[in-house]
Amino acid sequence: MRRFFLLAASALCAMQCAALEYDLSQGGVEVKAQTLSDKVSLAKDFILTITLETAERISMPDLRDRFQGFRVAEDFEEDPEPLDGGKTRMVSRWRLVPEPGAKRYRLAPFAVGDLFWTKPIVFEAEPLPPVTGDIEINPQFDPPPFSWRLAGIAALWCVAAAAGFAILIFTVRRIRTLVRIHRMSPQERARWELDELLKKQLPQRGRYKDFYVELTMVVRRYISRQHGIKAPQLTTGEFLLMAQENPAFPPEAIAHLKRFLESADLVKFAGLEATEEMASDATARARDYIDTPAEAHQ
């Protein structure tokens, strides 16, 4: 295939004049370089023919390392041809592939035997087409055609984004609330828990038992944090017995807690029908106990 291509190039050179010819002759040694194209083009290979006619006993120079801006694809050297006067004609043909982005396309000086060095040849290249950069600099948005399926997907994305944002806001607020509660004193936390309980309006909805359960737990948790007694895990009797043995609870405080807890137990366990007035009175008793400074209980 290689030989066929270069032979075809030789035939083409014989049928038409070379596009460009460079005379590199010196001292009676005729050296010529011929090209089929007048300019180097990235769109096609560059064909170069070197012809050497001399009576000297020298060989055709090897040009493989003399090309700049080209990659050697194929080369072919014809058999030497005797001429009149004792001269010999030698021909070599080169198929070169131009390299994109090369600064120049050049045949560097090469040695003709031990006789002389030729001058360099710089081949002119075709100008590259201008790069406008319109696509990169000013991209135009090409939206997809409207469809109900696309609208549904967009709606789902919007809903998911809104839900994710809402969850994020809720989580941030929840964390901030927990941090604020954690930093409260036992008294401040008990007041906050009592206010949160009243916001539920359980007595107004007839849920007295649930209200008394949560109200007594507010007081028990306050006692647990303030005095270290595990009040939430004890029954009323167990708690009162332990409180009597604790110097932090004077008799007046124990009596106050006994009335409060036992009245709540009547609603929680004995089925006593409570009223809003009873619930308000129990709330007032719980708030009064929480608002009383801890040292006043002693």
At residue 131, the pLDDT reads 62
Long-range CB contact pairs, 19-25, < 8 A, 24+:
22/121, 24/118, 24/119, 24/121
- The whole-angstrom separation of Cα 52 and Cα 80 is 10
Distances (CA, A) of 278 to 95, 208, 219, 263: 109, 10, 17, 10
Query: Which tokens in the block code for residue 100?
Result: 């994109």
- The whole-angstrom separation of Cα 194 and Cα 202 is 12
Distances (CA, A) of 20 to 13, 50, 78, 191: 11, 12, 21, 102
At residue 14, the pLDDT reads 47
Where do runs of H (alpha helix) occur along 202-275?
Answer: 208-227, 236-244, 251-268
Q: Which residues lie below 8 Å from residue 265, measured CB to CB, with a gap of 6+? A: 236
- The whole-angstrom separation of Cα 89 and Cα 31 is 10
At residue 73, the pLDDT reads 92
Residues of the chain with pLDDT under 50: 2, 4-5, 13-16
Q: Record the pTM.
A: 0.44
Cβ burial, residue 203 (10 Å; 0-12/13-18/19+): buried
**Plot region of 177 (φ>0 → left; ψ -120 to 50 → alpha; else → beta):** alpha
Q: Are 97 and 80 in contact (CB under 8 A)?
A: no
117 phi, psi to nearest 5 deg: -110, 140
- The whole-angstrom separation of Cα 32 and Cα 50 is 6
Query: Which tokens in the block code for residue 6?
Result: 């270069």
- The whole-angstrom separation of Cα 179 and Cα 182 is 5
- The whole-angstrom separation of Cα 231 and Cα 210 is 18
At residue 46, the pLDDT reads 94
Question: What percentage of the chain has pLDDT greater than the value 70?
Answer: 87
Closest CA to 25 of 64, 46, 56: 56
Q: Are 248 and 242 in contact (CB under 8 A)?
A: no
Q: How many helices (H) and strands (E) does the chain have?
A: 8, 11
At residue 16, the pLDDT reads 47
